Structure 1
Amino acid sequence: MRKWIGWGLAGVFTLLVGAAHAQGRDLVMAISEGSSGGTDHARVIAKYQGLADAVGRSINQKVNVVFIREFSALEDGLKNQRFDLAMARPSDFPARAMRDHGYQYVSSAQPDGRCLIIVPKDAPYKTVADIRGKRMVLPDPAAYMTKFCTAELRDQGIDLTKERVERVQEQGAVPFYLTNKFGDVGGVASYSGVAKSLEKTGHRVLHTSVAQPYFPLIVKKSFTAAQIESMQTALRTLPDTEEGRGVLKNIGIDGFDTRSEKRLRDLLAWLGI
């Protein structure tokens, strides 16, 4: 399976998407776990096929999972309507697919995503206003969570274009920078491994952003309103059965929110992209 990683986009799509349609009416569900996701297609199928099966049963069709590792492949597949369904993070990709390529909203994962502004436990800061003029540690400006934290701080009256910002390759480096005094304040995703390890790394949350949809599920415009409603019902009721709870546990989420469409449609404007 790992040999696929080196293939060009055309080869990957020919094999994965073409094979998924081999049975005629099988549907393709693309899964993108963002930059933090793994690189093993078999692992992703094992992780998400239960969800695909639940969605498929709700509309009486077979749904096959394909793993999309590269953002360029995700963007290209959505633009060219190669995916019948797509569940992807970061959330700006599904939001763009809805805005620009005719995809329709189904749901987002729970809990929502947030930007956490973190500081060392012994830092004197009490409010967001206290970090003005301090060194902020964030990933590359193109990174989704950087845009997310930038938008939140903008709403809190802090313009990062006028602040000192230290850039790191990935969120995992933020605690290291703070611990070693290369920066004073950092921004990380609430759903990241960093956020789950703050107690261990000696950091605390100074500020929690507004909530935004996380890991949205979208479908092509050819799906009917009745089909989408059936899928939404199946997703909402997953916590009601042992099998459904197993599906959620595999994915690592609490459930699905089928009422976040407006927030997802508003996301890109809030991010300023």
Structure 2
Amino acid sequence: MRQFFTPLAISLALVLSALAPSASARDLILAISEGSSGGTDHARVISKYQGLADVIGRSINKNVAVIFIREFSALEDGLTQKRFDLAMARPSDYPARAIRDHGYQYVASGKPDGQCFIIVPKRSTLTSLSQIKGKRMVMPNPAAYMTKLCTAELKRQGIDLEQEDVKRVKEQGAVAFFLENSFADVGGVASYSGVAKSWEAKGHRVLHKSEPQPYFPLIASNALSTAEVAAIQQSLRKLPDSPAGQKVLDTIELQAFDTGSEQRLAKLLLWLGL
């Protein structure tokens, strides 16, 4: 599979990383992946997350540079090869596997937690999850994290999506389109998606919510010491306590950081069957 390392800023950062003798002599790299529904503009991501990178950097007296990882294959490869000093990824299974398999350290996850929302349009007569069997369903593509989360949740509720009539769409916005235009009866979306946030306001209903799971985890490579990770965690916990910190949270669309969800993140992989 072709490696994907554009734009130029990513390549430059990795070249500098290779040339530098140690983490203390260079900028640390914070890789950001917003998942399949995230933005595609590198400059926008730098602008959005540089405030967070600065908070992290000040806590350990180092510069932190933001890079945007658009494709999951590049995220997986970068974590496997330990190219990133820090990574924050919305597909939570990627950071969880990097901790389990590649020696990364847990730092924090975002609040609120992430959930699979099973949704129906306002005209629907469905009132319980058991009633969706045999109905026309619409879900994001099978590789999407939320599809994995919804699949695991429904399986625990006795519903096997492999045995159901399921349409697959690329974007979560398409789930809403299918439901609102009677192309499907029930759908699954992420609790943090734009669809979920506006669904009930439009008069539609959320039929079921999955067990909450850690959202948008932040991890660190073993290039950072245990003391440095602790210092970062302390700074993240304090963000809601000041106007400047709250602005950072608002910009990255989080309420706060949870630095105590390490065990829950590890259990997520078991919950997903990964």
The residue that corresponds to 1:130 in the other structure is: 131
- Percent identity between matched residues is 63
- The size of the alignment, in residue pairs, is 267
Matches within 5 A, 1:2-151: 8-9=4-5, 12=8, 13-19=10-16, 24-151=25-152
Asked if the contact 1:119–1:203 (Cα under 8 Å) also holds between the matched residues in 2, the reply is yes
The residue that corresponds to 1:249 in the other structure is: 250
CA distance in structure 2 between the aligned counterparts of 1:177 and 1:202, rounded to whole angstroms: 16
What SS does the corresponding residue of 1:9 show, helix, strand or coil? Answer: coil
Please list the CA deviations of residues 53-99 of structure 1 after superposition, one character each: whole Å capped at 9, or x if unmatched.
Answer: 11111111111111111211111111111100001111111111111
Deviation at 1:51, TM superposition (A): 0.7
Deviation at 1:201, TM superposition (A): 4.9
Matched residue type, 1:107: A
CA distance in structure 2 between the aligned counterparts of 1:114 and 1:45, rounded to whole angstroms: 27
Q: Give the direction of change, closer, same or farther, for the CA distance of 1:11–1:183 in structure 2 (3 Å limit).
A: closer
The residue that corresponds to 1:171 in the other structure is: 172
Please list the CA deviations of residues 132-163 of structure 1 after superposition, one character each: whole Å capped at 9, or x if unmatched.
Answer: 22122112212111111011111112121222
CA distance in structure 2 between the aligned counterparts of 1:153 and 1:242, rounded to whole angstroms: 41
Matched residue type, 2:86: L
Asked if the contact 1:175–1:201 (Cα under 8 Å) also holds between the matched residues in 2, the reply is no
What SS does the corresponding residue of 2:194 show, helix, strand or coil? Answer: coil
Please list the CA deviations of residues 9-42 of structure 1 after superposition, one character each: whole Å capped at 9, or x if unmatched.
Answer: 3885431333577792321111111112222222
CA distance in structure 2 between the aligned counterparts of 1:149 and 1:264, rounded to whole angstroms: 17
Following TM superposition, the consecutive aligned residue runs of length 4 or more in structure 1 with deviations greater than 6 angstroms are 20-23
Deviation at 1:268, TM superposition (A): 1.7
CA distance in structure 1 between the aligned counterparts of 2:225 and 2:175, rounded to whole angstroms: 44
Q: Point out where structure 2 has 5 or more consecutive residues left out of the alignment.
A: none
CA distance in structure 1 between the aligned counterparts of 2:25 and 2:226, rounded to whole angstroms: 23
Quick check: 161-170 or 243-252, which moved more?
161-170
Deviation at 1:236, TM superposition (A): 0.6
Asked if the contact 1:175–1:203 (Cα under 8 Å) also holds between the matched residues in 2, the reply is no
Asked if the contact 1:98–1:104 (Cα under 8 Å) also holds between the matched residues in 2, the reply is yes
CA distance in structure 2 between the aligned counterparts of 1:132 and 1:264, rounded to whole angstroms: 30
Matched residue type, 2:29: V
Q: Point out where structure 1 has 5 or more consecutive residues left out of the alignment.
A: 1-6
What SS does the corresponding residue of 1:194 show, helix, strand or coil? Answer: helix
Matched residue type, 1:16: A
The residue that corresponds to 1:3 in the other structure is: none
CA distance in structure 2 between the aligned counterparts of 1:214 and 1:8, rounded to whole angstroms: 25
Quick check: 20-29 or 155-164, which moved more?
20-29
Matched residue type, 1:9: F
RMSD: 1.9
CA distance in structure 1 between the aligned counterparts of 2:16 and 2:46, rounded to whole angstroms: 14
Asked if the contact 2:50–2:66 (Cα under 8 Å) also holds between the matched residues in 1, the reply is yes
The residue that corresponds to 1:4 in the other structure is: none
Asked if the contact 1:17–1:66 (Cα under 8 Å) also holds between the matched residues in 2, the reply is no
CA distance in structure 2 between the aligned counterparts of 1:120 and 1:26, rounded to whole angstroms: 49
The residue that corresponds to 2:190 in the other structure is: 189
Asked if the contact 2:37–2:172 (Cα under 8 Å) also holds between the matched residues in 1, the reply is no
CA distance in structure 1 between the aligned counterparts of 2:128 and 2:52, rounded to whole angstroms: 41
Asked if the contact 1:127–1:206 (Cα under 8 Å) also holds between the matched residues in 2, the reply is yes
TM-score, structure 1 as length reference: 0.92
